[in-house]
Structure 1
Amino acid sequence: MSRIVIFGAGGRAGRQAVAEARRRGHEVTAVVRDAARYQGPADAGVRIAVGDVTDTARVTALAAGHAAAINVTAVYGAGTDPGAFFPASARALVAGLGAAGVGRLVAAGIATLLPGPDGRPLLDAPGFPAEFRPFCLAHAAGRDVLRAAGDEVDWVYVSPSGDFDHDGARRGRYAVRPHGDLADQISYPDFAIALLDEALPDEATAPRHHRTHLAVT
């Protein structure tokens, strides 16, 4: 049994990550913005904590004593600027986890940053909706902070190779793709399996990936 801190534990991906961690017997600190609205797993092995993932000091305090961290936070509130939020949260995680002595970070992201089968990023493909591009570039800015961090934290950026199957059930398996494919889908429970395999692997799980964007379906 290990201890893991999950930022963004109140969202769909976060709730499933908490559930998968508990299924494996790990203790979880589930970090949310509003504890009263948390609807995920809540038992003796889950500690609900309020925190802002862009606050380095709070990240440090919440992460201390944990073996790994998962970040599945999305933009908070209608007034939040994605272009500021994603790089700020990445900077706080790198600095905060480093100060807390947590060496492993698994960050959830989006598929559109991936190269497609032709090697071109999916967001640069003909016909990609222009209104979605700023949000994608905001995610890219956060990923670039991780890439620039060097050896400060052992990170992996995990996304569906396409999109989420919002009504999908837990099949208990997933596949790693060499590129993105917007026709691919993965359920939230199966995506959580990939996150936990990367955060706290053992001899029964897939090999760990390091400082890369991992696509799963």
Structure 2
Amino acid sequence: MSDIVVFGAGGTAGSRIAVEAFDRGHRVVAAVRRPEATSYLPAGIRVVTGDATSERSVRELAPDADALVVAIGGGDRTLWPDAARTLIDGLRAMPAAPRIIHVGGGATLLSPAGRQLLDEPDFPEEYRDAALGQADALELYRSGADGVSWTYVSPPPLEFHPGERTGRYRTGTDRPVTDAEGRSVVSYEDLAVAVVDEIENPQFRNMRFTVAY
């Protein structure tokens, strides 16, 4: 059994990760900005006010945790690198720091041409700000997280939606995982399975991985 803090547990991805971890017997803390909006979470999940970009929140929640899951959204480009920087700086000073599991964006995956998908000319402009923020966070982990254990998880770049929990998925690293028809798709529910699997049985320490069917 692990102690897992989920920042952003009120959101679509975070709530499913929190429930998946709880259902497997882990002790889960849901760190959210508005605790009153999480009544749908199981009663056994402890809900607290918390913010991954807050040094105070990290300082208060990290010492008792085995893993800190970052599944936040809704901000501008600075949100994700601010969270990554706050966590890295806060955990680096701890003698027995938890691991960071950052749920990032699929637009940082590589196209067949070897470019980030967000750099392709047909990338939708309305998603660019968030995609660039997630790219900034990934670069911070890769270049500035010495001494901190982290994993960055990318969903498929396009077909990622609520659906069925099948408990199955395939993994890759920097390119989308595709099926025989070239599609890359996974449900939020199975992304949550993959995240908790990685917490329980680490395969991608200090690197990024992606999942799809």
Q: Same fold (TM over 0.5)?
A: yes
Q: Counterpart of 1:150?
A: 145
Aligned residue for 2:78, secondary structure, equals: helix
Does 2:89 align with 1:95? Answer: yes
SS of the aligned residue for 2:77 comes to: helix
Whether 1:211 aligns to 2:206 is: yes
Equivalent pair of 2:19/2:42 in contact (CA under 8 Å): no
**1:175 alignment partner in structure 2:** 170
Instruction: Give the ranges of 4+ consecutive aligned residues of structure 1 lying more than 4 Å apart after TM superposition.
Output: none
Question: What's the offset of the Cα at 1:164?
Answer: 4.7
1:12 aligns to 2:12 (yes or no): yes
Counterparts of 2:203 and 2:5 in 1: how far apart (Å)? Answer: 18
Aligned residues: 206
User: How large is the Cα RMSD of the aligned pairs?
Assistant: 1.9
User: 1:90–1:106: structure 2 CA closer, same or farther, 3 Å change rule?
Assistant: same
Amino acid at match of 2:61: L
- Name 1:63's counterpart in structure 2: 62
Residue matched to 1:186: 186
- The range that moved more, 174-183 or 187-196, is 174-183
Structure 1 residues 39 and 152, CA gap change in structure 2 (3 angstroms): farther
Mark the CA change 1:58 to 1:165 in structure 2 (over 3 Å): closer, same or farther: closer
For the 8 Å contact 1:163–1:186, the answer to whether it is kept is no
For residues 167-189 of structure 1, what are the alpha-carbon distances to aligned partners after superposition, in whole Å with 9 as ceiling and x for unaligned?
41000111113512693111111
User: For residues 131 and 89 of structure 1, do their structure 2 counterparts lie closer, same or farther at Cα, with a shift above 3 Å needed?
Assistant: same
TM-superposed deviation, 1:159: 1.2
| CA-CA distance at 1:59 after TM superposition | 0.9
The answer on whether the counterparts of 2:88 and 2:145 sit within 8 Å (CA) in structure 1 is no
Is the contact between residue 106 and residue 154 of structure 2 (CA under 8 Å) also seen in structure 1? yes
- Residue 168 of structure 1 aligns to a residue whose secondary structure is coil
Quote the Cα distance in structure 2 between the aligned partners of 1:130 and 1:43.
40
8 Å contact 1:72–1:108 — kept in the other structure? yes
- Relative distance call for 1:96 and 1:40 in structure 2 (3 A) is farther
| Whole-angstrom distance in 1 between the partners of 2:103 and 2:97 | 17
Which deviations, in whole Å up to 9, do the C-alpha atoms of 1:134-174 show, x marking residues without a partner? Answer: 32111111222212223321111101133354241000111
CA distance in 1, matches of 2:141, 2:111: 22
Partner SS, residue 64 of structure 2: coil
Give the Cα–Cα distance (whole angstroms) in 2 for the partners of residues 40 and 99 of structure 1: 35
Unmatched runs of 5 consecutive residues or more in structure 1: 202-206
Aligned to 1:204: none
Percentage of pairs with the same residue:
36
Change over 3 Å in CA distance of 1:148–1:40 after alignment to 2: farther
Q: Do 1:111 and 1:163's aligned partners in 2 also have CA atoms closer than 8 Å?
A: yes
TM-score normalised to structure 1 length: 0.87
- Counterpart for residue 80 of structure 2: 86
On the 8 A contact 1:69/1:199 being kept in 2, the answer is: no
Please tell me whether the aligned partners of residues 169 and 189 of structure 1 are also in contact (alpha carbons under 8 angstroms).
yes
Identify the residue that residue 73 of structure 1 maps to in structure 2: 72
Task: Give yes or no for contact 2:80–2:134 (8 Å, CA) kept in 1.
Answer: yes
